[in-house]
Amino acid sequence: MMPSSPTKIDAWLMTGPGKPLERQTLTGGSPAGGELTVEVAGCGVCHTDLSFLRHGVKTRGELPLVLGHEVSGHVREVGEGVEPSLIGQPVVVPAVLPCGECELCRSGFRTICREQIMPGNDRHGGFASHVTIPARYVCPVGDDVLAEHELWELAVVSDAVSTPFQAVKRSELAQGELAVFIGVGGIGLHGVQIAAAAGARVVALDIDAGKLEQAGSAGAHAAVDVSGLSIKQIRKRVKEEAGRLGAPRHLWKIFETSGTRAGQETAFGLIGFGSRVAIVGFTMDRLELRLSNLMAFDATVGGNWGCDPVLYPELLRWIAEKKIRVRPFVERHPLATVNEVLDAADAGKLQKRAVLVPS
C-alpha cells in the first residue's frame, strides 16, 4: 500500500473542566493494526459530553481530549489486518467498541467489556474532521438507508437511538404489551418510536409539554404530563391509559429514560405483576425502595449501558424500513459552533438532538 501523507485533523479539544473547547490542528498518523480512520460526516452532542466538560465526570483518557462519541462518516484509511475494501465505505461508529474476546464479550455482555474503547472518552472522539478507532465493530451503512437519509443524520444512531434499542430488545417487549417511557428527551423519544415499531402500546410521561408533543409525533399512543402528580396519581393515570389502549393490566415494560431521582421513583412506583423495569438514564442520586415489591410482583429491574454493536445492522434495517425515523429529531450545526451548541444543550434550549458537521 502507498504510504499516505499525514492527515491534518481539525479538532476541538477539552483542555480542562468548564473551559470552552479549543480548536487545534492535529497531525494524524496512519491507523494502527486493526484500526481505521473515519472522515467525520456528523457527530452528535450527548449529555455525556456535558458531564465530562462541565459536571465533574472524568474522561478515562487524559486531557486535552477531543470529545464526541456519536459518529458517522466515511472510512478513509485502514490499518494492517483491516479489509482495504472498507475504504470509502459509509459507516456508523458504535459509541462503545468492545474487544470482542474477553469473558464479558464472549458471554454477550459486550457493552460492559473492560477493554472497550469509547471515542471521546478513552481516546480522541468525533468533534473533529477525522477520528481513528478500532475497526472490529464499525457498522457499514447500506444504500437502502442512504436512499432516505444523509450520513450526518445517522450519527445519532450511535447512542441516542441504539441505547433505547438495546433496552427494548433486552425487555423482550412483545406486540400489544404496554411500554411506559419516563422522560422523553433524546433517549426516551427514540425509545417511544422503537417500542411503537415493535407493536407495543406506548405511554410517554414527562413534565415538559413540548417533549410530550414530540413523543406523540414519535408514535406514543398516550402522553401524560406528570408535573405535580404523586406516584399514586401517576399509577392511576397510566392504568387508565392502559385500559383505554386495550393493553394488558400486567406485564408492563417500564423504561426509565429521564436519569432523574423522580423518574426512578416513578418507575419503581409503576411496578406491578410481571413488570420489567429498564434503567436507561443515569443519575448519582439515591432513593429508598422496598425491594420486596420485586418478590411480591415477580418483577425484575435491569439496566443497560449503551448498545451491543452486533445489534446495529438490525437497527439500521429498521431505519431503512422507516420503522424508526431519524430526520425529524435531529438538527445540523457547523462543528465550528460546538461551544455555542454545548451552551444551548446545557441550558436545555435544544428541542432536537444536535449533530455537529465539519465544514
Provide the binding-site residues for Zn ion, judged by CB under 5 A.
Answer: 46, 48, 98-99, 102, 105, 113, 115, 159
- Closer CB to Zn ion, residue 106 or residue 244? 106
- Residue 281 is given by DSSP the state S
Q: What is the rounded CA–CA span in Å between residue 69 and residue 268?
A: 30
Q: State the minimum distance, in angstroms, from the CB of residue 144 to Zn ion.
A: 26
- CB of 355 vs Zn ion, minimal distance in Å: 12
- How far is Cα 270 from Cα 287, in angstroms, rounded to an integer? 15
**Dihedral of the alpha carbons of 336, 337, 341, 343, in degrees to the nearest 10:** 110
| Min dist. Cβ of residue 231 to Zn ion (A) | 29
Question: Judged by CB, which is closer to Zn ion: 48, or 59?
Answer: 48
Closest CA to 197 of 352, 306, 318, 353: 318
Contacts of 297 (CB under 8 A, 6+ apart): 271, 272, 273, 274, 275
Give the C-alpha separation, 251 to 273, whole Å.
6
- The answer to whether 256 and 281 are in contact (CB under 8 A) is yes
| 23 bridge partner residues | 12
For 72, 89, 216, 323, the CA distances from 192, given in Å and listed in that order, are 23, 30, 9, 11
CB of 106 to Zn ion, least distance (A): 8
Nearer to Zn ion, 105 or 212 (CB): 105
- Smallest distance, Zn ion to C-beta of residue 279, A: 16
CB of residue 181 to Zn ion, shortest distance in Å: 18
Residue 48 or 129 with smaller CB distance to Zn ion: 48
Provide the CA 273 distance to its chain's centre, in angstroms.
29
The nearer residue to Zn ion, 31 or 98, going by C-beta atoms, is: 98
Residue with grid cell 420486596, as numbered in its chain: 292
Question: Of 47 and 323, which CB lies nearer to Zn ion in the complex structure?
Answer: 47
Would you say 126 or 272 has its CB closer to Zn ion? Answer: 126
Nearest approach, Cβ of residue 164 and Zn ion (Å): 12
Q: What is the rounded distance in angstroms from the CA atom of residue 123 to the CA atom of residue 132?
A: 9
